[in-house]
Structure 1
């Protein structure tokens, strides 16, 4: 057996004991119920909840583990948009969290965060608030820096989802010089250069998506000396690959190199017309690209409760393999384990994937083959209640 094979085999077993954080909205049946930050433990084939914290507001929407020993959580607070907030939690050795600070956010509907400028700054994308904000970070204390809005802009043609700007993600480029913000409502990705001295963002020309596509999330990928940007589009369930060009005088331009359905070549497009693609992420080894599909049931899976023999409907996770030219080769479509997998995360060793199925109130763990990129058998499942929308490996 080669050294590489031995290393991969060792990695594939390293998640046999692990902990995760999952965040979610509170039960929709409850009035003014806070959401939750749960700690999950996976040991000897059993996934269970070991703690719950309800101090992150009504609709915690995103967990950021970019600061050592801390978890940053944003409260989307779409019931009361004037009370959106950024919460800081201390991470304990056993995976539990303690609430340590909260800062009000002046723009409503925050849905994702991105630390940048050597973690001296934080950017927040606002879906319901139609824009973005930036903050300075001094030893974990956050102060508002910018408040940028996209009110009264030309929107896409689908009024139910494109009734205004809906900035959904904040993404740092590989050089650390640029931040990108996909805007589902405006069919555009906003491009900013980072002023490393002040931490402020300087706006450049948008990357325009095809009309009605609704860009939601994005991720960068490098191949040799080339850089690519993959953007997932919620309203058509497609991924577009762009080659990124860095202008000598500053700024980014993009060349489209590929476009693929998140349901692959074998699924009838008529079946997926009401799909709502969500998360997009590279595997830790950067050899595969994964995407989550919502609102189109393609499989039935075992119940979370092993004592219940009733099978349940499942949405899906798609896997592609990027080629050196940025084109995407189809690998697999696999069950997510429930409905509306808003978020998933592959373990750092690549051998496992955790999926938060928002509308099914569960988190599922599956094995994943590091070499082929294929998702395999379920190894754990737990009901967490409410609407889980973010899951992170600790």
Structure 2
């Protein structure tokens, strides 16, 4: 992804710098790319130093995992019209990236999750309705392990579910013993137990969602002695919270709350598509993104264009000790189609990839860590090429 015309407002903080890593879809003529840049915040003006734009990890890079550390980034190529891949790229001393490993995998991967102390990796496949797993060798290479396909299973009633399973996310639970995979097509979240000796998975009963709700992404929260699972549902734009009880037969999930991803105000959400969900770094808030139903107008990120643009939204809820959610805010995302967003380490900044804007933009806002509210925009970028789909703060 090439970035141009990045501009910032000042922040009343001591000078500090953070690196941001993004991925973006390509188009018919240009590969998608992975970009890094420095965002420096300080008293007065802020500054940006672009570092790298890497386009050798596939045509449609769609997910970035930085948990291996050491400058390594695992990338999946969703590859709508080509062969999907799983890659590792390594950051070099000059800030550039080098491709170190790449293997072909089952089509339409959209998210990954390391598990078993990073000995193995699970991949969610949207278009092919599957979960695949890979062991990670000492040399950093991935070896195929297992495949679970759901494509022929019973599907939901919405048009987006007519062709069956669409597994969209992979998430590990706080104990490190279980993985869950929301499946938008089947109105279910698949649950697996991890074998710590073999890296293999054993299926457990699914979490069943209401028909036509379309579970997309999920996030676990450890709160005192309790564990909760929050799932955002794309097709009915709801967030549902479950209390997790661990038994000798595996985890049990009890629904404790069901709220709109647009907050308590009555609103027709037909056609909307909720996307990402995360827990704030202080473990106090659930944050989600909404797409395809813009309800705000915001200043144009292009400083040469005074015409306001439409904006989708970011919703924030405060979590309770019982897993129930209290509405905090519905804020603009800064543009259209915020498929993914990320928070910096202390949660004081949120970076949002508005990949559906024309041109796509990366928008960075202040966030009040005490109230959980998103405040003023402090940075915007106008991107060329395809839409931004993943945003990671590197600190």
**1:182-238: CA deviation from partner (whole Å, max 9, x where unpaired):** 000000000000000000001111110011100000011122211111000000000
2:391 and 2:193 map into 1 onto residues whose CA distance is 29
> In the alignment, which residue of structure 1 is the partner of 2:144?
144
Residue 178 (str. 1) matches residue 210 (str. 2): no
Q: Are the equivalent residues in 2 in contact too, given 1:14–1:349 (CA < 8 A)?
A: no
Which one of the candidate residues 279, 294, 299 is aligned to 2:296?
299
1:353 and 1:234 map into 2 onto residues whose CA distance is 21
Aligned-residue offset at 1:263: 0.4
Q: Are the equivalent residues in 2 in contact too, given 1:89–1:99 (CA < 8 A)?
A: yes
> In the alignment, which residue of structure 2 is the partner of 1:4?
none
SS at match of 1:168: coil
**1:34-67: CA deviation from partner (whole Å, max 9, x where unpaired):** 1110112212424464321111111101000010
1:324 and 1:209 map into 2 onto residues whose CA distance is 23
> In the alignment, which residue of structure 1 is the partner of 2:263?
264
2:209 and 2:167 map into 1 onto residues whose CA distance is 14
> In the alignment, which residue of structure 1 is the partner of 2:104?
104
Where do 1:1-394 residues align within 5 Å?
Answer: 13=13, 16-27=16-27, 30-31=28-29, 33-43=30-40, 44-47=45-48, 49-69=50-70, 70-80=72-82, 83-92=83-92, 95-105=95-105, 107-139=106-138, 140-247=140-247, 249-266=248-265, 268-270=266-268, 272-360=269-357, 361-385=360-384, 386-394=386-394
Aligned-residue offset at 1:159: 2.4
TM-score by length of 1: 0.92
**1:218-264: CA deviation from partner (whole Å, max 9, x where unpaired):** 011122211111000000000001111111x2311111110000101
**1:94-115: CA deviation from partner (whole Å, max 9, x where unpaired):** 654222221111x110000000
1:156 and 1:95 map into 2 onto residues whose CA distance is 46
Count of matched residue positions in the alignment of Structure 1 and Structure 2: 374
Q: Are the equivalent residues in 1 in contact too, given 2:167–2:185 (CA < 8 A)?
A: yes
Q: Which moved more, 1:194-203 or 1:358-367?
A: 358-367
2:96 and 2:347 map into 1 onto residues whose CA distance is 24
1:15 and 1:221 map into 2 onto residues whose CA distance is 32
Aligned-residue offset at 1:13: 4.3
TM-score by length of 2: 0.92
**1:139-176: CA deviation from partner (whole Å, max 9, x where unpaired):** 32110000111121000001234421000000000000
Higher helix proportion = 1
Q: Are the equivalent residues in 2 in contact too, given 1:46–1:380 (CA < 8 A)?
A: no
1:15 and 1:257 map into 2 onto residues whose CA distance is 43
Change (3 A) 1:253 1:293: same
Q: Are the equivalent residues in 1 in contact too, given 2:366–2:375 (CA < 8 A)?
A: yes
- Over the residues paired in the alignment, what is the CA RMSD in angstroms? 1.5
Q: Are the equivalent residues in 1 in contact too, given 2:350–2:367 (CA < 8 A)?
A: yes
1:227 and 1:135 map into 2 onto residues whose CA distance is 27
After the TM superposition, which parts of structure 1 deviate over 3 Å for at least 4 consecutive aligned residues?
Answer: 12-16, 46-50, 92-96
Change (3 A) 1:47 1:302: farther
Q: Which moved more, 1:89-98 or 1:201-210?
A: 89-98
2:15 and 2:373 map into 1 onto residues whose CA distance is 17
1:241 and 1:340 map into 2 onto residues whose CA distance is 24
